[in-house]
Amino acid sequence: MLNSSETEDRIKSAEDALSDAKKAFNNKMIIPTIQLSQVCIEQSAKAVIACFAIPEWEHDPSKQLLSLLELHKTTIIEKCGEELFNRLNQLSEDSHNAAPWHEYSVYGKYDKATKRWIIPRYICTEEIATSIFPLSERSYNTAKKFIDTWFSK
């Protein structure tokens, strides 16, 4: 393990975000569900990254995660199995897809056609919340399983 405190802090942060996202989701709080789900996904990916390197300072850790997965592929598969390795690749994809929602759920999204910012209340929909929330659960479960497996053997 490169940085056990970084890994532990990131997975705890992901767990906290997931817990709060569940509360927000259950209370139909759309924007907080999206914000917290994105944070959970990002922190889950960064917890895995921290096992090998210092996570980069950005909201889309997918490139760094993919690079590390490729670099350590043989060892990860030997220790954790191919199924978990594939789940880590899915985590990378999920973190890439969720990353823009950090900006969108906080600041909104710039509309080039109207040359105006669309505020979060108009782009953060129930459909988005319903699609991103399960990704946060999957991401956390994948990261937690990897960390537990990686350091148990």
- Separation of alpha carbons 99 and 59, rounded Å: 6
Q: From residue 40, how far is each of 20, 91, 118, 125, 133 by CA, in Å?
A: 10, 11, 24, 19, 9
Per-residue pLDDT of the chain (153 residues; tens, 9 = 90+): 456 889 999 999 999 999 999 999 999 999 999 999 999 999 999 999 999 999 999 999 999 999 999 999 999 999 999 999 999 999 999 999 999 999 999 999 999 999 999 999 999 999 999 999 999 999 999 999 999 999 885
- Separation of alpha carbons 126 and 132, rounded Å: 10
Q: Which residues 6+ apart lie within 8 Å of 109 measured at CB?
A: 103, 117, 118, 123
Q: Which of 38, 35, 44 is nearest to 15 (CA)?
A: 44
